[in-house]
Amino acid sequence: MLYELSKLRILKFPIHRSIPFSSNALSPGTEIRPPFYVSKNLFSTTRQQQTVNRVLITGGLGQLGRGIASSLRSKLGDSNVFLSDIKDPDSETLKQGPFVRLDIIDKESIEKTVFENKIDGVIHLSAILSALGEKHPQKAIEVNIRGAENILDIAKNHNLRIFIPSSMGAFGPSTVKDSTPDLTIMRPNTLYGIAKVYMELMGEYYNQKNGLDFRSLRYPGIISGDTPPGGGTTDYAVDIFHAAIEKNQYTCFLKKDTYLAMMYVDDCISETIKFFLAPREQLSQCVYNVDAISFSPEELSNEIKKQWSPEFEISYKPDYRQKIADTWPRSMCDSKARSDWNFYPKLTSTSSLVSKMLSVIKRRNEYEK
Ligand SMILES: NC(=O)C1=CN([C@@H]2O[C@H](COP(=O)(O)OP(=O)(O)OC[C@H]3O[C@@H](n4cnc5c(N)ncnc54)[C@H](O)[C@@H]3O)[C@@H](O)[C@H]2O)C=CC1
Ligand SMILES: CC(=O)[C@H](N)C(=O)O
C-alpha cells in the first residue's frame, strides 16, 4: 500500500491561536486551555502498559531508522509503525508504511501525531552525532538536549513506552576503557556525550518519579553496508569498505591503533527490538551497555586486505575526531544485558564483519548498476 505523505503530513492543523499570556489580555474568568491533544500526566504515576501496539520512530531516515522500522513492522504490522524525520523520505520508504514529517523541536506537532494516531510507544532516534555536534554545537544542544526533553515529556504525559539509544560516547576520558561497566564514572567532554548522560538521567528520573517506561542501550559504533552513517567518530569503519571497493585506497581520520567498541547493524536492530518489546519485569535497570566487537583501523584494514585485495592501501591522517575517539571505550561490559533480557549479538569477530560488509556492499552495487 502506498501511504501518501500529504495525508499524514501535519498540514491540517486545528488552528491553535496562541493566547497572550498577560493577564490584562484576558477578560475575567477566561479559562486558558491547552490544545485538546496536550495532556498533563493523564496516568497514575506507577501504571505502565504491558504491550506496545503503535509506535512512532523519530529521526527515522538516518543510519538506523529504516532498518528498525522494517523489523518492527514485521512484528506489529506495517500500518502500526510511523516513521518520522525532519527530512523527506524517498518513494521506496513511503511504500513501506506511514511517514510523518516531524521536527523534534516542534513539540506540539509531535504530541498531535501521538494523540491522533493512538501511539503507545516511541523510538527516538533524532540526533546530531558526535563529530557533527562538535562542528555545530548549537544544533547539537537543540536537537540532542531540547529534542530529548520534548520527547521524554510527551512520553511521560501520554504514558508511552520510550526507547532512546545512548552511546559509548556517554563515557569520557576518566572512564575505564576496557570492559567499561554499566555503572562507572561518566564525565564526557563532547556535547554529544553530555546530552546522552543528561538524557539517561532524565529518563531514569521520570521512570522513578512518574513510572515512565524508559529504556536505553549504550550502543558502540554501528557498522552498516546499505545505509550511510550520519557524522560520527566511528564512521571510518563504514567509509573504509566503500573506499576499498571503489578505489582500493582509504585515508583514515583515526590513528592506526585506535581500538573502539563496534557492532554490526543487524545485531543492533534485532537486539534493539528484542529489548524494546521485552516485558518490563525482565529489566532490572533502564540503561544497559551493549557491545559486540573491538578492533583498530589497522586490524580492520589487514582483514580487508586478506578478504578483498592485497593491493588495498590505507594511510592515516588523524583529525579532530581522534581526540573524541581517545576518550571512548575500547570495549564495554554488557553482562547485565545478556543476563536480564538475553542480549546476544551474532557477529562477533572482525573477519566475519569484513566478510559480511563486503558481500552486502557488492550486492548493493550490483543491484544499483
Ligand atoms: N549509528 C551509530 O553508530 C550510533 C548511533 N547511536 C544513536 O542512535 C540514534 C540513531 O543514530 P543514527 O541513525 O546513526 O543517526 P543519524 O545521524 O544517521 O540519523 C539521525 C536522524 O535524525 C534526524 N534529525 C536531525 N535533526 C532533527 C530534528 N530537528 N528533528 C527530527 N529529526 C532530526 C536526521 O535527519 C537523521 O535522519 C542516535 O540517538 C544516535 O546517537 C548511538 C551510538 C552509535
Ligand atoms: C558511537 C556513536 O555514538 C556514533 N557512532 C558516533 O561516532 O558519534
Identify whether 81 is part of a domain: yes
Q: For 254, what's the count of Cα atoms within 13 Å in the CB-facing half-sphere?
A: 29
Among protein residues, the one with the nearest Cα to ligand 2's atom 4 is 232
Q: Is the pLDDT of residue 310 over 70?
A: yes
258 lines ligand 2 (CB under 6 A): no
Any idea which residue has 544544533 for its cell?
139
Q: How confident is the model at residue 17 (pLDDT cuts 50, 70, 90)?
A: very low
CB 244 within 8 A of CB 312: yes
**Mean pLDDT on 341-356:** 98
13, three cell numbers:
492543523
Q: Could you tell me the distance, in angstroms and rounded to a whole number, from the CA of residue 166 to the centre of ligand 1?
A: 11
Q: Determine the Cα–Cα distance for residues 157 and 137; give it in Å rounded to an integer.
A: 29
CB 289 within 8 A of CB 337: yes
Q: Determine the Cα–Cα distance for residues 283 and 279; give it in Å rounded to an integer.
A: 8
Q: Is the pLDDT of residue 30 over 70?
A: no
Q: Is the pLDDT of residue 18 over 90?
A: no
Q: Is the pLDDT of residue 20 over 70?
A: no
188 lines ligand 2 (CB under 6 A): no
Q: Is the pLDDT of residue 148 over 60?
A: yes
Identify whether 123 is part of a domain: yes
Among protein residues, the one with the nearest Cα to ligand 1's atom 2 is 222
Q: For 219, what's the count of Cα atoms within 13 Å in the CB-facing half-sphere?
A: 25
Identify whether 308 is part of a domain: no
For residue 191, give its domain range.
55-221+264-292+331-346
| Ligand number with the minimum distance to the CA of 123 | 1
How many folded domains does the chain comprise? 1
Active-site residue, from 3, 37, 192, 236: 192
192 is catalytic: yes
The helix/strand count (H/E) of the chain reads as 14, 13
Identify whether 167 is part of a domain: yes
151 lines ligand 2 (CB under 6 A): no
Any idea which residue has 570495549 for its cell?
331
In this prediction, residue 33 carries a pLDDT of 57
Stronger pLDDT, 367 or 334, i.e. the higher one: 334
Q: Determine the Cα–Cα distance for residues 363 and 369; give it in Å rounded to an integer.
A: 10
| Ligand 2, atom nearest to 229 Cα | 5
Q: What residues flank ligand 1, with Cβ below 6 Å?
A: 58-59, 61-65, 85-87, 102-105, 125-127, 129, 143, 165, 167, 219, 221-222, 229-232, 234
Q: Could you tell me the distance, in angstroms and rounded to a whole number, from the CA of residue 21 to the centre of ligand 2?
A: 42
In this prediction, residue 366 carries a pLDDT of 83
Among residues of the chain, what percentage have pLDDT more than 70? 87
81, three cell numbers:
509503525
Among protein residues, the one with the nearest Cα to ligand 2's atom 2 is 221
In this prediction, residue 35 carries a pLDDT of 60
Stronger pLDDT, 350 or 48, i.e. the higher one: 350
DSSP state of 80: G
Cα–Cα nearest to 325, from 188, 183, 203, 135: 188
Identify whether 316 is part of a domain: no
pLDDT digits (tens, 9 = 90+) for 215-274: 999 999 999 999 999 999 999 999 999 999 999 999 999 999 999 999 999 999 999 999
* Identity at 230, one-letter amino acid code: G
* Strand, coil or helix: 16: coil
CB 257 within 8 A of CB 177: no
In this prediction, residue 57 carries a pLDDT of 98
Q: Could you tell me the distance, in angstroms and rounded to a whole number, from the CA of residue 125 to the centre of ligand 1?
A: 5
List strand residue ranges (DSSP E) for the chain, in order.
Answer: 55-58, 81-85, 99-101, 121-124, 161-163, 166-167, 214-219, 221-223, 249-252, 260-264, 287-289, 293-295, 313-316
- Give the strand pairing for 55-58 and 287-289: unpaired
The CA-atom distances, in angstroms, between 24 and each of 17, 18, 20, 37 are: 17, 15, 9, 27
Instruction: Specify the CATH number for the domain of residue 125.
Output: 3.40.50.720
**Mean pLDDT on 178-196:** 98
Q: Is the pLDDT of residue 3 over 50?
A: no
**Mean pLDDT on 154-178:** 98
Identify whether 116 is part of a domain: yes
Q: Could you tell me the distance, in angstroms and rounded to a whole number, from the CA of residue 292 to the centre of ligand 2?
A: 15
Identify whether 256 is part of a domain: no
Packed helices 297-307 and 350-368: angle between N→C axes, nearest 10 degrees: 60
Q: Is the pLDDT of residue 51 over 50?
A: yes
Q: Could you tell me the distance, in angstroms and rounded to a whole number, from the CA of residue 59 to the centre of ligand 1?
A: 6
Identify whether 95 is part of a domain: yes
Buried/exposed 24-40: b ≥16 CB within 10 Å, e otherwise: eeeeeeeeeeeeebbee
CB 123 within 8 A of CB 57: yes
Q: Is the pLDDT of residue 10 over 80?
A: no
pLDDT digits (tens, 9 = 90+) for 269-297: 999 999 999 999 999 999 999 999 999 99
pLDDT digits (tens, 9 = 90+) for 60-115: 999 999 999 999 999 999 999 999 999 999 999 999 999 999 999 999 999 999 99
Ligand 1 pocket mutation, candidates 109, 129, 171, 224, criterion most atoms within 8 A of CB: 129
Q: Is the pLDDT of residue 26 over 50?
A: no
Burial of 334 (0-12, 13-18, 19+ CB in 10 A): buried
| Ligand 1, atom nearest to 196 Cα | 41
Q: Is the pLDDT of residue 12 over 90?
A: no
Q: Could you tell me the distance, in angstroms and rounded to a whole number, from the CA of residue 126 to the centre of ligand 1?
A: 4
